[in-house]
């Protein structure tokens, strides 16, 4: 990677693959769905888009094909206010795509990303001036699973050296991306070089056989901040040996995919603002609720004043708050939602869950 200029240009630079998504027009098997709605999705670009729409300066670093899908991705991400000047085009490789399948009991995802343009990212193709252009560099373990070149890139980016930005890393263990000969402990190795790490308790169990948040912290003592997402229970953040737990919000879930990325975006937004650790966790839950209550990967973040008002609620009010579809668009929504929609009495009908859960199918 080439030399980095002095001083960050952006609040956050997010590096990783994004794909064009196809969401079915109705529930059912892909064999029976007559049409799809086109969208975009990718862990790191989701975080960049959420941060940009929350008022931060964000850059997305990636590689897409020289095809129409690549054109669409770049335009769609840029439309949220994200800088895309560090996205490279590859004339020889395609842009990745995936299809969602909305079954009765779950949402499945079918990838068509093998040999994609993003899989060609490497230490030689990604410039340090771009990777180090933000106050925070946000990465994901998904990138490490794409190719040997991407793994080499990830190792170079998490190497601790003078002048690098704060490095944020979401483990994002995706079993479908890891071959039988691959060792998912590589994801833990990468985490040890980062400053802020997000991991789901369930994925730590699947990838590393670690049973709970305390065991995860014991295995990963190096990150200054370790955030363990505990599904519908909440999330625990470790700083040193100190653990801070914040319960999740009750949410009427429309679609779980993208909630983990939104949680990371909310936490990083609050980090950039210098807020206390418990407030960072609450902002993560609030942003996750915005993603959980829409059908696509990207929810509409609440206005900052709205989010701040929710985060400032007392413990009782926070514990009884319940959010449903459209909550981020309601005029005067904070008073109405907090005051008249305790858990179990939402005027929105849907599957009840809690924000901050880990989604494992992107």
Could you tell me the two tokens for 63?
Answer: 């590689």
Radius of gyration, CA atoms only, the chain: 19
DSSP, collapsed to helix, strand or coil, labels residue 38 as strand
Give the contacts of 271 (CB within 8 A, at least 6 positions apart): 136, 196, 280
β-pairing, 242-247 with 225-229? unpaired
β-pairing, 134-140 with 107-112? unpaired
Give the CA distances from residue 185 to residues 171, 177, 189, 191, 254, in Å, rounded to whole numbers and listed in that order. 11, 14, 6, 10, 33
Helix (H) or strand (E) holding 135: strand 134-140
- The residues facing 38 across adjacent strands are 22
- The backbone torsions φ and ψ at residue 163, rounded to the nearest 5 degrees and listed phi first, read 90, -10
Q: Give the residue from 51, 62, 4 showing the smallest Cα distance to 307.
A: 51
Q: How far is CA 129 from the centre of its chain?
A: 23
Active site residue 297: no
Could you tell me the two tokens for 203?
Answer: 């994925």
From the candidates 261, 279, 297, 353, give the one annotated as an active-site residue. Answer: 261
- The residues facing 354 across adjacent strands are 250
Give the contacts of 273 (CB within 8 A, at least 6 positions apart): none
Query: Are the C-beta atoms of 246 and 286 separated by less than 8 Å?
Result: no
Separation CA 32–CA 236 (nearest Å):
42
Alpha helices in 125-168 (DSSP H): 128-131, 141-144, 148-157
Question: Which residues does the annotation mark as catalytic?
Answer: 261
């Amino acid at each position: 990677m080439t030399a980095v200029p002095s001083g960050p240009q952006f609040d956050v630079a997010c590096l990783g693959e994004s794909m064009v998504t196809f969401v079915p027009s109705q529930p059912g098997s892909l064999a029976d769905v007559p049409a799809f709605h086109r969208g975009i999705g990718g862990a790191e670009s989701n975080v960049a888009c959420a941060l940009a729409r929350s008022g931060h300066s964000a850059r997305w670093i990636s590689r897409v094909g020289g095809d129409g899908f690549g054109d669409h991705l770049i335009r769609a991400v840029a439309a949220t206010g994200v800088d895309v000047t560090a996205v490279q085009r590859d004339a020889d490789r395609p842009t990745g795509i995936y299809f969602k399948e909305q079954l009765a009991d779950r949402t499945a995802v079918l990838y068509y990303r093998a040999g994609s343009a993003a899989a060609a990212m490497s230490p030689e193709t990604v410039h340090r001036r771009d990777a180090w252009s933000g106050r925070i560099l946000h990465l994901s373990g998904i990138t490490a699973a794409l190719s040997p070149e991407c793994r080499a890139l990830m190792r170079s980016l998490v190497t601790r050296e003078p002048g690098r930005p704060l490095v944020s890393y979401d483990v994002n263990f995706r079993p479908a991306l890891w071959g039988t000969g691959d060792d998912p402990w590589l994801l833990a190795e990468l985490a040890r070089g980062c400053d802020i790490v997000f991991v789901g308790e369930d994925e730590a169990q699947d990838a590393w056989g670690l049973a709970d948040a305390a065991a995860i912290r014991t295995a990963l003592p190096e990150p200054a901040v370790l955030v363990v997402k505990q599904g519908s229970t909440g999330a625990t953040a470790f700083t040193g040996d100190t653990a801070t737990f914040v319960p999740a919000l009750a949410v009427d879930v429309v679609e779980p995919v993208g909630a983990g990325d939104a949680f990371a975006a909310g936490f990083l937004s609050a980090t950039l603002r210098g807020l206390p650790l418990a407030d960072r966790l609450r902002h993560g839950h609030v942003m996750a609720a915005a993603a959980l209550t829409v059908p696509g990967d990207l929810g509409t973040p609440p206005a900052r004043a709205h989010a701040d008002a929710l985060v400032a609620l007392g413990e009782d009010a926070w514990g009884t708050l319940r959010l449903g579809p459209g909550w981020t668009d309601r005029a005067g929504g904070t008073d109405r939602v907090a005051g008249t929609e305790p858990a179990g009495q939402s005027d929105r009908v849907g599957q009840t869950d809690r924000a901050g859960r880990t989604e494992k199918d992107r």
